Chain A
Amino acid sequence: MLTVDMMSDYGADVKTALVRCANKEELYLKLVKKVPDTQDFGKLKDLVEAKDYEQAFEVAHGLKGVLLNLSITPLANPVVTMTEMLRAKEDADYSPYLEQMMTKLDELKALIEE
């Protein structure tokens, strides 16, 4: 069962996130559990690989907002980087960031499923 300590160990800034959730741990954990359910990670990967940077930016921007609001820093970091690259429509190699994102997502999923 997911706990705030597990999220801290994962690298999330739980203290900051809890302030946003009015110190309601239950609410925080409920929202964190919803993160892997979003289709946006897969969508972002597909759009970047298809070089549809405009659409990809919108998806990345949305994900960034959610991840930063919940202070899930390890997962937010690659998304924040990609958002800025996509905003500038950089035709660069996004694969390291996509890989990092998917790895951290899998780790989060594993924590939730524990």
Chain B
Amino acid sequence: MRTDYTKETGPILYDDMKRNVLVVDDEDINRELLGAMLSDEYEVLYAEDGDIALEILKENYEAISAVLLDLIMPNMNGIDVLKIVKEDPKLSAIPVIVLTADNSAEVECLNLGAVDFIPKPYDAPEVIIARVKRNIELSEGRTVIQSMERDELTGLLSKDFFYKYSVMTEHFYRSRAMDAVILNIDHFHLINEIYGREFGDKMLKAIADTIYKYVRTKEGTAARGDADTFYLYIERQEDYSTLLEEVQGDINALSSAVYVHVRCGVYCKEDKDMDMEVIFDRAKLACNAIRGNFKEKISYYDVELKNKSVFSERLIQDMMDGIEHKQFKVYYQPKYAIQGEKPKLTSAEALVRWEHPDFGLVSPGAFIPLFEENGLIQTVDHFVWEQVASDLRVWKDKFGDTVPVSVNMSRIDVYDSEVEDRIFKLLSKYHLSPSDFHLEITESAYSEDADYLIEVIERLRHGGFIVEMDDFGAGYSSLNMLSSMPIDVLKMDMKFVKDMHKDSKRKRMIELVLDIAEFLGVPVVAEGVEYKEQYEFLKEKGCDIIQGYYFSKPLPFDDYEAVLETAIKEGGE
């Protein structure tokens, strides 16, 4: 076996397997002469006219490595055969070498897709064999490259090739102002879940076709990246709303039942020498900045975004240092049971705060979603669990009793095979029982690989933990799924309470959540309760537990300890 290497594709193999070549010539003597030349190296098939040639090709297209085609033949001439071969997607990859004594036909044949010529009278056999072999090698190499070059599903470029082509375009058109555009579809996985993968693929193809037509008119190129992300590198446009409308139209045409939001991030390239991946990282950053924001569809990378990105990067860099130097602090927000005569402290939620040496108090909203994206949240979670366990031990020793504390368990924790071991070791280390710890798992975690998640949670509950479903109502739980979910408490998403004053429908929504909880036989915790009207409404409607500024903001260790001490004393009286 011989191996050729190219810079672009790595090894291309041209082994010694005998390939099939088809000789098409109406002259018997010419066919036999060529056959005699080629038969040591190739299996030679023969066709005496164009019709027979096409018949053989259609039946054996995958097995024929090259066609040697005479141009002037009766019935169907070589030019017509060449046209048909090159227009047929199944045949077009087969290299066609034209046999001719007529130089004037060369340009036409090349334009039609012939790869080479063999002049008549023929050259020496070794020359012809070498030309055939080289053309087969090139063709097979091209096929390998093309298979890597294109995204199989949509036919758009693959991301790596897209970057290369875009760089090439830069060399030729340096004076053009270019934009890097990333187009993404929010919650595309819902389409696959509801309608099946085949339907989802159909939609991606339709979107890709629209994008392809769009970039063709804008002197650009396009690729499909991961799943539902599309990359476009095109001449600067004033507005991308037409593109978005067209893509949204494709989606709506295929499915009016599911609302899928299309968004795009744009980076207007300024520095011609900037690395293509950096350019698209910026477009992606702009695109991600409007994730989940259904009002904005187009986002441009700007200074504000850049600063935000630099800030995020800094937080990522500083996280480990922050853990080591105890910059992260655990705060406790009390939860009160409200259905008794007077509100009673029933538990607390552990919330993390970061006192950054340079930025001051960093909002959890700034670092938790960021750390959730890159998995660092697990380190923070583990820190919080350890701190809570240690604090619980202090209070138990001090007061002889305490109330449970709920901690957040991120999706990544649930999927960690060592999570149960870790949490039980922690309890053992501080001599605590599972009933001291409540685990809060966000509703959105349940939507992916629910079976596995249910299995882990069942085991934790079996071990004695109370599991609370956090942010209920913000995600996509179906009522059917809910009935099979292993949960002990529903925590209503705080948006329900926040918006309840707006209209009666919002209040009705709260009643519905309470009804669902009653149906499931689990208590409800309402978060974000700030005002008396909210508290009174929730109490009247039967909400069990309340957490929010109405009773208390999240408290540092000492302040919460005082609240706890009072509650324990009152409980003992």
Contacts and interface: CB of A to CB of B under 8 A. Distances in A.
B72 A71 contact: no
A22 B58 CA distance: 32
Nearest to B77: A58
Contacts of B452: none
Interface residues of B, number: 19
Interface in B21-53: 26-30, 32-33, 36-37
A27 to B, nearest CB: 6
A7 to B, nearest CB: 15
Interface stretch (A61-69, A95-103, A104-112): A61-69
Contact of B102 (A34, A61, A68, A70): A61
Contacts of A35: 29
Interface string B90-119: 000000000001100000000000000000
Interface in A8-51: 19-22, 24, 27, 31, 34-35, 38
Contacts of A69: 29-30, 33, 120-122
A64 B124 contact: no
A21 B33 contact: yes
A31 B102 contact: no
Contacts of A61: 72, 101-102
B124 A20 contact: yes
Contact of A66 (B29, B36, B37, B74): B29
Nearest to B123: A20
Contact of B30 (A19, A21, A27, A65): A65
Contact of A58 (B74, B120, B121, B124): B74
Nearest to A24: B36
Contacts of B101: 61, 64-65, 68
A68 B72 contact: no
Contacts of B102: 61
A27 B36 contact: yes
Contact of B37 (A22, A58, A65, A70): A22
A12 to B, nearest CB: 12
A66 B32 CA distance: 11
Which interface class (under 10, 10 to 19, 20 to 34, 35 or more) fits A?
Answer: 20 to 34
A21 B124 CA distance: 8
B125 interface: yes
Given A31-B33, A69-B33, A20 B122 contact: yes
Given A58-B74, A62-B72, A65-B120, A20 B26 contact: no
Contacts of B26: 62
A68 B121 contact: yes
Nearest to B71: A61
B28 A22 contact: no
A72 B124 CA distance: 17
Nearest to B26: A62
A106 B28 CA distance: 21
Interface in A56-83: 58, 61-62, 64-66, 68-71
Contacts of A22: 36-37, 125
B32 A20 contact: no
A70 B72 contact: no
A35 B33 CA distance: 13
Given A34-B28, A64-B101, A20 B120 contact: no
Contacts of A20: 33, 37, 121-122, 124-125
B125 A66 contact: no
Given A20-B122, A62-B72, A71-B121, A34 B29 contact: yes
B192 to A, nearest CB: 58
A62 B27 contact: yes
A3 B352 CA distance: 102
A38 B48 CA distance: 14
A20 B74 CA distance: 25
Interface string B68-96: 00101010000000000000000000000
B69 to A, nearest CB: 13
B120 A68 contact: yes
Contacts of A24: 36
A65 B121 contact: yes
B76 to A, nearest CB: 12
A36 to B, nearest CB: 11
B305 to A, nearest CB: 68
Contacts of B37: 20, 22
Contacts of A71: 121
Contacts of B28: 34, 38
Interface of A: 19-22, 24, 27, 31, 34-35, 38, 58, 61-62, 64-66, 68-71
Name the 7 nearest CB pairs between A and B, nearest first: A68-B121, A65-B120, A69-B121, A66-B29, A19-B124, A61-B72, A66-B27
Interface of B: 26-30, 32-33, 36-37, 70, 72, 74, 101-102, 120-122, 124-125
Given A66-B27, A66-B29, A66-B30, 14 more contacts: A19-B125, A21-B33, A22-B37, A22-B125, A27-B36, A31-B32, A34-B29, A35-B29, A65-B70, A68-B101, A68-B120, A68-B121, A69-B29, A69-B120
30 contacts: A19-B124, A20-B37, A20-B121, A20-B122, A20-B124, A20-B125, A22-B36, A24-B36, A31-B29, A34-B28, A34-B29, A34-B32, A38-B29, A58-B74, A61-B102, A62-B26, A62-B72, A65-B30, A65-B70, A65-B101, A65-B120, A66-B27, A66-B29, A66-B30, A69-B30, A69-B33, A69-B120, A69-B121, A70-B29, A71-B121
